[in-house]
Amino acid sequence: MSALKIGVDEAGRGPVIGPLVVCALCVPEVDQSVLRELGAKDSKELSPERRRRISESIYSLAETKGWGIGIVSCDPERIDANSLSSDLNRLEVELFAEAIEVAAEDSAGGTVMADACDVDEKRFTTRLTSRLGSQWSEWEVVSEHGMDSRDVVAGAASVLAKVERDASIAALEGRLGIRIGSGYPSDPLTRQAVRELVSGELPNGCLRWSWSTVSDIWEEVHGGPVPVRDGGGSAARQSSLDQW
């Protein structure tokens, strides 16, 4: 029986709008050639249409070949709640572990190839290994920057994560009736969307309220600090220094 390999990557770490999506794809090592034939690679190197076609093929093959796929979509509310007591690097460790646990059984054994989301690759590896725990001792965890461009399974995972993230943004645009753009703060279309989405009594739920882009635009529009949400479905307004 061929050894297993899990590739893990994320899409949507930096955007101010929408979810952060993590995907773990588990395949036998002998099936890596199948992924190469599909053209799976770092999602940034592929057009949206090419990513979509590769994603459909991977899901189809997963059914016939028994590949494991774990998708975790972390909504903005969870990101904001996490920011109150932790940082994004630690949250991503948790999301990576959750996706891995969906994609494979801990007892199987193999190699995890993760695209490190921390500037310190060793620290990310240590944290992910620790989070998975002793029951995953049969698995070797390797995490490096740019893993999605060096390992085909991690590249395939990046494609699945990106397609899922793009679908979420398309659904948001349809529901809100506005263009969101890339979701990154540097995108003028995104900044205009944020301005529209903070015009109400509270920022729209699709925004990451803890992001500086949201707080800055909120303050421009409302003249005070952005409300804080705790992940329990509640939000509280921060008091302006001028009120004291």
DSSP bridge pairs for 113: 7, 142
- Residue 187 counted as an annotated binding residue: no
User: Which domains does the chain possess?
Assistant: 4-170 (3.30.420.10), 177-237 (no CATH)
Model confidence, pTM: 0.93
Confirm if 38 and 58 have CB atoms less than 8 A apart.
yes
Residue type, 40: A
In this prediction, residue 108 carries a pLDDT of 85
Q: Report the 10 Å Cβ neighbour count for 214.
A: 23
- 192 alpha-carbon distance from chain centroid: 23
**Is 115 assigned a ligand-binding role in the annotation?**
yes
Quick one: pLDDT at residue 67?
97
Instruction: Report the percentage of the chain scoring pLDDT > 70.
Output: 94
Q: Is 9 known to sit in a ligand binding site?
A: yes
pLDDT score for 41:
93
Q: What is the pLDDT at residue 63?
A: 96
- pLDDT for 243 beyond 50: no
Mean pLDDT, the chain, whole residue set: 93
- What are the pLDDT digits (tens) for 136-187? 999 999 999 999 999 999 999 999 999 999 999 999 999 999 999 999 999 9
